[in-house]
Amino acid sequence: MQPRNRSGFALPIAIGAIVVIGTLVTGVFFAATQESRIGRNTVTQERGFRSAESALNFAYGTWNNITMNRLATGAMSTQVFDSSATGWRDTVRVTRLNSGTFMMTSTSYAGAADTARSRTGVVIRIIYPKFNFLGALTVRGPNTIGGSSYINGADTIPTGWTECPPAGVSQPGIATQNRSTINFSGCSRGGLPCIDGNPDIKVTSAAGDTTNYFVYGADANWATLTASATRTFAGDQTLNGIGPVVSGGACDTSNPMNWGDANRANPAGACESYFPILYFSGRTNAVHITTGKGQGILLVDGDLIVDGGFEFYGPVIVRGHITTQGTGGHFIGGVMAADVDLEQNAILGNAVINYSSCSINESLVGSGIAKRVPHRSWAYVF
């Protein structure tokens, strides 16, 4: 019998199954590889974003007014963070937009060959109180003015302060609630008046309102300002030799006798942009300052006594009363004596009080607190 040709189909099926399974395995392997790459890239991209945010927050948290106040408008400060060991590096750039506003951007690279890049930005504003100086000297209680002292309401630009804008309008020499409480104990300035201004003496009820002395705009008052003081002194104090302290080429802000550098040199001194908030606590205490020079904001709970030619640039607010004697003291900015016990203020000797909007504004901005703007301050650039 002739054998029959019985062709099988098992082999084609087996080969086809192998091809199908191989295709599936290849597809699964390809998909898994792609998923792995996507996941790895996502992690790298997230690392870049997180490092950009981390460096931005660190730079914001370690804000240094001394460094930032040295920047001219449009100038930039750069800070580099290198953490290549953990796979990222970042550069934070701070650009000064105007006297009180800064733009901070953080650019981060992550992964091998910098495969991921992220940039975030934030707008920073310097927050500071708003003082209402009614004149070069604003007083609530009675006053004795004499000797060769001089109170001047003309807007004064401190010597060497090239950062100041043109002088503004003249202010009153003295603002008081009652002109009859000002007593002149001689005036030995060669026939010149002891008080100059526009007018020389302004009578206003605002000078008798304690709110004017202790509330500084919508967000600040005496309590919040003293709580944020750079330096706090307690008890009776007698200080002399106030002046800038430089250590290793840097301004030594830890020294309690360093109240900034009101001189302006070329090149700039290390402490020129240091404007501390100085608070002397204690309502029954007296602060006696004899010699030296400082800048910033001076807050005194009790009474302030100045002689020896001490000079201070910026706002001065005293809850008690002010006495100058001997060679007196020089205040370039604005002085307010709340005189809560209505004791006698005595501006004697050769004391000088000059109104200066520039030294007030520079001190306020220099001692201000960096805050993110309230709305839409943060941005993810790419």
* Same domain assignment for residues 324 and 379: no
CA distance 149 to 151: 7
Query: Is 3 among the domain residues?
Result: no
* Same domain assignment for residues 55 and 76: yes
* Same domain assignment for residues 168 and 304: yes
* Same domain assignment for residues 52 and 183: no
Query: Is 160 among the domain residues?
Result: yes
pLDDT at res. 344: 61
CA distance 128 to 298: 14
Q: Give the residue-averaged pLDDT of 120-137.
A: 88
- Report whether pLDDT(323) > 90: no
Cβ–Cβ < 8 Å for 233, 284: no
* Same domain assignment for residues 375 and 348: no
Residue positions counted in the chain: 382
Taking alpha carbons only, the member of 270, 300, 308, 296 closest to residue 283 is 300
Phi, psi of 9 (to 5 degrees): -120, 5
Instruction: Kindly report which listed range (2-11, 104-113, 156-165, 269-278) carries the lowest average pLDDT score.
Output: 2-11
Q: Give the residue-averaged pLDDT of 189-196.
A: 70
pLDDT at res. 113: 64
* Same domain assignment for residues 202 and 349: yes
pLDDT at res. 359: 94
Taking alpha carbons only, the member of 365, 377, 373 closest to residue 125 is 373
Strand-by-strand arrangement of the 303-306 sheet = 182-185, 143-146, 345-347, 322-324, 303-306, 286-289, 237-239
* Same domain assignment for residues 200 and 329: yes
Number of domains the chain contains: 2
Confidence of residue 279 (pLDDT cuts 50, 70, 90): very high
* Same domain assignment for residues 142 and 113: no
Residue 234 three-state SS: strand
* Same domain assignment for residues 285 and 310: yes
Helical (H) or strand (E) element with 233: strand 231-234
pLDDT at res. 378: 65
Domain containing 107 equals 11-128+369-382
Residue 21 three-state SS: helix
- Report whether pLDDT(190) > 70: no
* Same domain assignment for residues 66 and 119: yes
* Same domain assignment for residues 256 and 353: yes
Rg (CA), the chain: 33
Query: Is 5 among the domain residues?
Result: no
Structure tokens at 109: 């690279």
